[in-house]
Amino acid sequence: MRNRYIIDNKITNKFVEIYTKTTYRIIGNNKHSAIKPCHWLEQKLMTGRENRNCYKSIFGIQSHKCLQNTPSFPFCNHQCVFCWRDIEKGDLGSDFIVEPDEPRDLVNEMIRHHQDIIQNHLPLRRYLDNYEIMNEI
């Protein structure tokens, strides 16, 4: 089966463009990994409130310190109800058919992109204003 988003076992720029129009960041040389800030990260930054965490707080993970990511962004067939990936646009099948990037490089790039999103692409001034208001309450 031929997929228009994979040419010569490489994910095309067209596929990447579809996702970078939203808050997804496609990571790595071979474009098979991604990060996206979750709802709870924004809630935690916006309010500063302790009760603004997802289910991961049960395990001691605070939402503002969580890095929502996947090393196999377009290759999944689980279709989980709670999945943050856009299955309609992004399903390239379940076979991982591109050359994998080096894990250490992926992690470093994910952290760098996550920090960039928080510092440059979320409305931090509004979050800080809200945080100060919430502290006064």
Please report, for the domain that includes residue 62, its CATH number: 3.20.20.70
Q: How many domains does the chain have?
A: 1
- Residue 1, in any domain of the structure: no
Global confidence as pTM: 0.73
- Residue 124, in any domain of the structure: yes
**Contact between 53 and 44 (Cβ < 8 Å):** yes
Q: Which domain holds residue 83?
A: 6-136
- Residue 106, in any domain of the structure: yes
- Residue 123, in any domain of the structure: yes
Q: What CA–CA distances, in Å, run from 111 to 9, 67, 77, 89, 95?
A: 26, 8, 26, 25, 26
Model confidence pLDDT, tens digit, residues 31-89: 888 898 888 888 887 777 777 788 888 998 888 888 888 888 877 766 677 676 665 65
Model confidence pLDDT, tens digit, residues 18-30: 777 777 888 988 8
- Residue 122, in any domain of the structure: yes
